[in-house]
Structure 1
Amino acid sequence: MISLEGFANEADANSLGNTVMSIVRALYEKHQLDLTNLKRILISYDFPNALKRVTEEYNHTSPSSYTNSKQARAIAQLITKGAREEFTLVLGIEFFFEWFNNDGKFELTEDNIHFVLHRIHHELIHVHEKNVLNCLDSSLLVDQYDDALLMSATRSWSEYLANLNSAYSAPQETVTLFLEQLDSVIKEVPNEIETLVLQYQCKLIPLDEMYLAVKDRIKLIANSYAYAFGYVDALGIDLNDNFPELSQNLVECKLSDVIHKLVVSFRTLTKLYDEGAIENYDAFDEVVKVIDSMFECFGLTLERTQDENGTGLYIHVG
């Protein structure tokens, strides 16, 4: 179940693998997680290539759900084979950085165990969610329109749910980090999007380049909000008292009204999930509408087109 790649020290590899296996078993038993078809956890020093290889092995055609940016860096990805034949969880070595000392040796202590334990808990919630929502076809082939909206909606809500349901294993430092990251994102990323749109309007970059960069940033905003408010809702955090600067920035940012609607849609969808009432992707319609309105805030309107070659995407820039 545990595979390790790129380790120079066999003892460190064995210690890490055994520790991860013990934590997975403990979380599985304590929280009654459905880990059906989680066939492998792959831990690699070369995360991008490991992810690429597993994706190709599984013939996984859905677009990647993570974004590499100065605000967020990918270190974990759950890959699905077929509808739900099996899952592989790919983890970069950075996922475990607290467990390695300054000499690069594996060293587990009472002070550092909880950081990585929580990350593992978060990832296992994703596996559990996929098994609970077996009515959703994870091998669904999506067009460009669905990738921008439906996939962004499902993935951002999934991150909200994972932090909501794993929050009690999170160290305070981790919670603070995600809330500070959200603050950074809402202060920086909307300006980046406005600059990209302006560059396109001034004919400095082509439409496709502008759109893809904007789409990634919209996903980053939605995911950052989802991560942070999973903790906020689970732990009952009062932002006004504990994170006043973030609270003020959320009110004053360009997307203030939209991101408030986003968390409302997350909560509504989570209630349906808890009641076993999600039957198909239509349940995500309200989240999709909010993601769509994020594009509209920056003057972009997305339209699905249809011709003899199939569906396409038309981007109105106003």
Structure 2
Amino acid sequence: MEPDLTISLESFSNETDANSLGNSVMNAIQALHKQHQLDLTSLKRVLISFDFASALKKVTEEYGHISPSSFTESKQAIAIAQLVMKGAREEFTLVLGIDFFYEWFNSDGRCEIREDNISVVLHRIHHELIHVHEKNVLAQLDASRLIDDYDDALLMSATRSWSEYLANLKSASSAPDETVELFLEQLDTIIKEVPKEIESLIRKYQHRLIPLNEMYLAVKKRIKLILNAYAYAFGYVDALGFDLENCFPKITKSLKESQLSDTLHQLGTSFKIVTESYEQGLIESYDAFDEIVKVIDRMFKEFGLSLERTQSENGTGLYVHVK
């Protein structure tokens, strides 16, 4: 059955480009749905906007989310796509920024889809549709459950990073070589630079230059960045069967020398364990992500932060211990 969805476009000054892009996205979704037998149930709208942050905020408010998604201030990541769910998977909207389609626009800013530029964006669409498929397959998980600050740091980071791993693992067949190399290079940059950013933030807190909450929130975003970068890269590596040491000696060296080397290795192992459970239809609750949660908790500890869930008359909270 063909997906029953609407493509919406915002802030386009040229109607021809808007129609061309919208039709191309719809055709791509239909083709990928048919080729890969994707479950796109509940995907009702794809919203493409020149102002990604505002479009995402609008959708999250429409769907009754308490707060919109937040983005890292770290220079290594730019958000261009987000799947937003209404209630317990009753409706999905995929929000895409115009940068998602960068390769489909020429130097004059006009939409121009050619044989030599179609594959990169097509793969990005494939990746996002894997997210939709996964959310439908795991419909038994309560997407509307109350998440406290402790769960946000650990459980939600675990489910989201694994989801990115799965999306690249399952969409690797459509990934151009340059896209795979880009994600591996990005991981190389992130594991070299982001731990230093984290250590700098913690030192600022220790020297009383920033408050604890500001430091913690900034560190949490950067740990999520490391998790997702590893997930993106190793989704490809595991799907395509690379001999990483021979094919990408630079990233192999960086991983071995990283202070997070052992933790990242454990992260990759835990991703594979959850994926096996997913393939066998054995994920029945969020307990399936426990091993990834433990790895992320260890990553916080690697930087001297220990997270503790607290209980009071006001409900659950989070206490951050700093060594």
TM-score, reference length from structure 2: 0.97
Partner of 2:3: none
Asked if the contact 1:60–1:80 (Cα under 8 Å) also holds between the matched residues in 2, the reply is no
CA distance in structure 2 between the aligned counterparts of 1:124 and 1:4, rounded to whole angstroms: 18
Partner of 1:186: 191
Deviation of the 1:204 alpha carbon: 1.1
1:122 to 124, 127, 135: 127
CA distance in structure 2 between the aligned counterparts of 1:159 and 1:63, rounded to whole angstroms: 19
Deviation of the 1:245 alpha carbon: 1.1
Asked if the contact 1:68–1:74 (Cα under 8 Å) also holds between the matched residues in 2, the reply is no
**For 1:294-315, what per-residue CA distance to the aligned partner results, in whole angstroms no more than 9, with x for missing partners?**
0000000000000000000001
Partner of 1:56: 61
CA distance in structure 2 between the aligned counterparts of 1:68 and 1:122, rounded to whole angstroms: 24
SS at 2:144 equivalent: coil
CA distance in structure 2 between the aligned counterparts of 1:66 and 1:76, rounded to whole angstroms: 12
From the superposition, tell whether residues 178 and 65 of structure 1 become closer, same or farther in structure 2 (CA, over 3 Å). farther
2:252 aligned with 1:247: yes
> Which consecutive residues of structure 1, in runs of 5 or more, have no partner in the other structure?
none
Partner of 1:98: 103
Partner of 2:141: 136
Partner of 1:28: 33
- Poorly superposed stretches of 4+, deviation over 6 Å: none
Asked if the contact 1:61–1:139 (Cα under 8 Å) also holds between the matched residues in 2, the reply is no
Asked if the contact 2:60–2:67 (Cα under 8 Å) also holds between the matched residues in 1, the reply is no
CA distance in structure 1 between the aligned counterparts of 2:73 and 2:118, rounded to whole angstroms: 26
Deviation of the 1:72 alpha carbon: 1.0
Partner of 2:112: 107
CA distance in structure 2 between the aligned counterparts of 1:304 and 1:63, rounded to whole angstroms: 23
Partner of 1:46: 51
2:306 aligned with 1:290: no
Deviation of the 1:260 alpha carbon: 0.3
SS at 2:295 equivalent: helix
Deviation of the 1:243 alpha carbon: 1.2
Deviation of the 1:69 alpha carbon: 2.8
2:14 to 9, 12, 16: 9
Asked if the contact 1:182–1:224 (Cα under 8 Å) also holds between the matched residues in 2, the reply is yes
CA distance in structure 1 between the aligned counterparts of 2:91 and 2:170, rounded to whole angstroms: 23
CA distance in structure 2 between the aligned counterparts of 1:281 and 1:62, rounded to whole angstroms: 22
**For 1:52-103, what per-residue CA distance to the aligned partner results, in whole angstroms no more than 9, with x for missing partners?**
0000000123762753531110000000000111000000000001000000
SS at 1:2 equivalent: strand
Deviation of the 1:139 alpha carbon: 1.2
From the superposition, tell whether residues 163 and 123 of structure 1 become closer, same or farther in structure 2 (CA, over 3 Å). same
The code of the aligned residue for 1:131 comes to: N
Work out the percentage of aligned pairs sharing the same amino acid: 71
2:256 aligned with 1:260: no
> Which consecutive residues of structure 2, in runs of 5 or more, have no partner in the other structure?
1-5
Deviation of the 1:199 alpha carbon: 1.0
CA distance in structure 2 between the aligned counterparts of 1:90 and 1:115, rounded to whole angstroms: 18
CA distance in structure 2 between the aligned counterparts of 1:149 and 1:156, rounded to whole angstroms: 11
Asked if the contact 1:185–1:221 (Cα under 8 Å) also holds between the matched residues in 2, the reply is yes
CA distance in structure 2 between the aligned counterparts of 1:66 and 1:193, rounded to whole angstroms: 16
CA distance in structure 2 between the aligned counterparts of 1:45 and 1:313, rounded to whole angstroms: 37
When the two chains are superposed, the root-mean-square deviation of aligned CA atoms in Å is 1.0
**Pairing 1:66-85 to 2, within 5 Å after superposition:** 67-85=72-90
Number of aligned positions between the proteins: 318
2:165 aligned with 1:155: no
Deviation of the 1:140 alpha carbon: 1.6
**For 1:272-301, what per-residue CA distance to the aligned partner results, in whole angstroms no more than 9, with x for missing partners?**
000000000000000000000000000000
SS at 1:34 equivalent: coil
Deviation of the 1:262 alpha carbon: 0.1
The code of the aligned residue for 2:257 comes to: E
**For 1:90-139, what per-residue CA distance to the aligned partner results, in whole angstroms no more than 9, with x for missing partners?**
00000001000000011011110000000000000000000000111111
Asked if the contact 1:199–1:205 (Cα under 8 Å) also holds between the matched residues in 2, the reply is yes
SS at 1:312 equivalent: strand
Asked if the contact 2:61–2:68 (Cα under 8 Å) also holds between the matched residues in 1, the reply is no
